[in-house]
Amino acid sequence: MVLLNTERYKWPIHVGSILLLALCCYSPVHGDCNFTSGNAKEVKMEYSSSIIDHEYIVSFNGYYKTQTRKRYLTAALHESGVPSWKILPRDNPAYDYPSDFDVVKLNDGKKEALDALENHPVVKRITPHKKVTRSLKYVKDPDYPSEDTKTPKDLNSCNKTDWQQTFTSSRTQSRRSLSLSATYWHSPNRHRSRNLLRAVPKQIVSALQAEILWNMGYTGAGVKVAVFDTGLAENHPHFKRGKIKDRSNWTNEKSLDDGLGHGTFVAGVITSSKECLGFAPDADIYVFRVFTNNQVSYTSWFLDAFNYAILKKINVLNLSIGGPDFMDHPFVDKVWELTANKVIMVSAIGNDGPLYGTLNNPADQMDVIGVGGINFENQIARFSSRGMTTWELPRGYGRIKPDIVTYGSAVRGSALKGGCRSLSGTSVASPVVAGAVTLLYSAVLDRSHVINPASMKQALMASARRLPEVNMFEQGHGKLDLIRAYQTLRTYKPQASLSPSYIDLTECPYMWPYCTQPIYYGGMPTIVNVTILNGMGVSGKIVNKPEWQPYVPQHGTHIEVAFTYSSSLWPWSGYLAVSITVSKSAATWEGIAEGQITLTVESPPEYDEAEPRRTELRLPVKVKIIPTPPRSKRILWDQFHNLRYPPGYFPRDNLRMKNDPLDWNGDHIHTNFKDMYHHLRSNGYFIEVLGSPFTCFDASQYGTLLIVDAEEEYFPEEVTKLKRDIDNGLSVIIFADWYNVSVMKKVKFYDENTRQWWMPDTGGANIPALNDLIMSLGMAFSDEVYEGDFMMGDHD
């Protein structure tokens, strides 16, 4: 693929012109910059999911015994006349308990069967059954030199991890260079120059001062912690006798043991009592083996295991695994149900950094503690995924994630047979937080009535130490501070809170990207998506409506604020989307404007309380306003026609990535195109984001419409309007990746699980739709595919 380096190209924008750029598909694959000498291994976690042909998860509105569920399904499918179907058996520890779902295989009459099931009164939802593949690859961490770690010889084959799946990664590798080269922050030379100064602690618990709580008598006792991973040996020497309360296998393999070492390491960081110490050695540990030795899992395995965790009344659950699939509704719904039952879930944010917009699910959910990674110099680890969340695209804007960060580079933990090893990754940072949460929980057991997923998350965020010169989409609320979190929990009173707790569009770099561009009259609304955390109860609501209160002496009347917000807060959380625009009175004014948003959150009374619980919240707002820039300096980015999450097989822009064909990430000017954003801003342009159809903007206000790698179709009304806008002086620049039917046939792949060929729905971009858009101009993209460099005028 020919990557457009926006640092090299300066586009002369002429009124009423159109520029078409077809970016072809082949790109030199850079060497693995993650590999240097040393023993600290980085866990490169690659993820994929595929739909299993003919298999469906049927979710019910409640929990029913096996025979009752079978009667419901039989009644529904008998009426549809479907001759061939069956309920797939699930042989696991949850079999004897009531369940809220079944896995059904439909061989014939699929449409009729699905219609019949959807119309049944007890059926909540029907979704395709998915297979999840995770590939762990241990590579040497360039952030850290060699250290003496005891790793058993029988782990060598595990550490190599040579296996490959049909397709594995879900993250865009082709645009990684956009962020890797963005700043000195990620420079390989920078890391290398610091190796001699680095002091890596032998015990991760010492780095976070866990000994202070241990000396107070708190060691995790009385807390149930679950590890969803690859299993754990029954008699591993690092765990106290009797503290492994339950080991359960949810896979189709007949084993409870860990064949890979990842689950053992994670469990050790949380509860190990020897050599490489964990945070809560006296906690009760529950081991859920949800991945096979081939690193395969199914949505149904997780659903059964999650139900079992609820039955066992688990307090803390660590999930060091994840993927981009926030559209896997049964999984997402079950996570909500878990947290609604007061299970505090801690999950890794992902190892797809430094690219932005690469958060993993479920760590990107509001009710889950999403954890990013730092090294022992308090720098954001280059592998740690960055925000924003992408659920809200294309019409809205993402939320802050991760929630917090902690040490995830060269952390020592339990090896498979004993001894210690060092690993890096957010799958390492996650159990650090899970272990800390388990320890904190045990330290406030006398106040357990106020401890829940929201209150624990509030305490962690309120006590976190903000890292300097790091933005909110990299660090969230900052670095975990165990002792401050304990002090916060000791005095905690049930309350609601906001994340972020203020909006300051002048504060750089923390409030990036908001702080990099002032606002002005006539611009697209600036949207800030605020998370509401409700520690008062699992459910709640916003009373009346949020209210905007301008600070008159601080020119607050120059801005207008609108809101959308959750009709109900469940579980433990909701959202407040704030839309900020400049009033007409400030069209030529420049200065700082301030005000505040006030709202009241209410939850039902608890225990013997007579009155509802209430919290009055205040959200300060501060913005910089400038006179409206000239039309020639205003660029409109088309977000509306970029898919946030592909509904089918959308191939990569970079076809050299044979093991990574699926394009999961939605493009955005503040995520994978943030270098383009910085380049345009540094050259004096103002970039606004369009989250609605072309019929919704006034083209006379903009010099250029920027369409990048669009996948969606265009309405006929949009085609007509764009032609009229161009005739009236609007310039259009279109960047489009490859589209070639012959190439699309070549990149089809056979999925062993579904036993079918997957054909791309389109190429790297939807060229037919783009050609429909510009047909009236007598222009079109070709389907030729090239490899190499190109020149634009005097720029090479």
**pLDDT tens digit sequence for 399-445:** 999 999 999 999 999 999 999 999 999 999 999 999 999 999 999 99
Res 171: pLDDT: 29
Q: What is the Cα–Cα distance from 323 to 364, expressed in whole angstroms? A: 10
More confident residue, 77 or 618: 618
What residues contact 562, with CB distance under 8 A and at least 6 apart?
525, 578, 579, 581
> Is 565 a residue whose pLDDT tops 50?
yes
Burial zone of 700 (CB within 10 Å; 0-12 exposed, 13-18 middle, 19+ buried): exposed
- Residue 402 contacts residue 371 (beta carbons within 8 Å): yes
pLDDT in tens, 596-605: 999 999 999 9
Beta bridge partners of 635: 687, 704
Strands of 627-770, DSSP E:
634-638, 686-690, 704-708, 731-737, 749-751, 756-758
Q: Is residue 163 within 8 Å of residue 294, measured between CB atoms?
A: yes
Angle among Cα 373, 378, 382 to the nearest 5 degrees reads 45
Reference 282, options 271, 270, 274, 298; nearest CA is 271
Provide the residue count of the chain: 796
Check whether domain 499-625 has CATH 1.20.120, yes or no: no
Listed as own residue / partner, the contacts of 690-696 with beta carbons closer than 8 Å and 24 or more positions apart are 690/524, 690/636, 690/637, 690/638, 690/639, 690/640, 691/393, 691/394, 691/395, 691/396, 691/639, 691/640, 692/395, 692/640, 693/640, 693/717, 693/718, 694/638, 694/640, 694/718, 694/721, 694/722, 694/725, 695/721
Of 102-116, 256-270, 642-656, which has the strongest mean pLDDT?
Answer: 256-270
Domain boundaries, the chain: 46-136, 204-492, 499-625, 631-777
SS (H, E, C) 450-486: HCCHHHHHHHHHHHCECCCCCCHHHHCCCECCHHHHH
Provide CATH code, domain 46-136: 3.30.70.80
Mean pLDDT rounded to a whole number for the chain: 84
Going by pLDDT thresholds of 50, 70 and 90, the confidence category of residue 152 is very low
What confidence score (pLDDT) does residue 49 get? 65
Position 159 scores a pLDDT of 30
* C-alpha separations of 454 from 320, 346, 538 in Å: 20, 12, 8
Burial class (CB in 10 A: 0-12, 13-18, 19+), 433: buried
Query: Which has the minimum average pLDDT: 291-300, 545-554, 573-582?
Result: 291-300
- CA–CA gap between residue 540 and residue 784 (Å, rounded): 56
757-767 pLDDT, tens digit per residue, is 666 666 778 88
Q: Where residue 298 falls among pLDDT bands split at 50, 70, 90?
A: confident
**The pLDDT of residue 424:** 94
- Enumerate the active-site residues: 229, 262, 427
Q: Using H for helix, E for strand and C for coil, what is the string for 204-269?
A: HHHHCCHHHHHHCCCCCCCCEEEEEECCCCCCCCCCCCCCEEEEEECCCCCCCCCCCCHHHHHHHH
Q: Out of 41-45, 78-82, 420-424, 476-480, pick the least confident.
A: 41-45
**CATH class of the domain whose range is 204-492:** alpha beta
What's this model's pTM, rounded to 2 decimal places? Answer: 0.85
Q: Please state which of the ranges 172-186, 445-459, 631-645 shows the lowest mean pLDDT.
A: 172-186
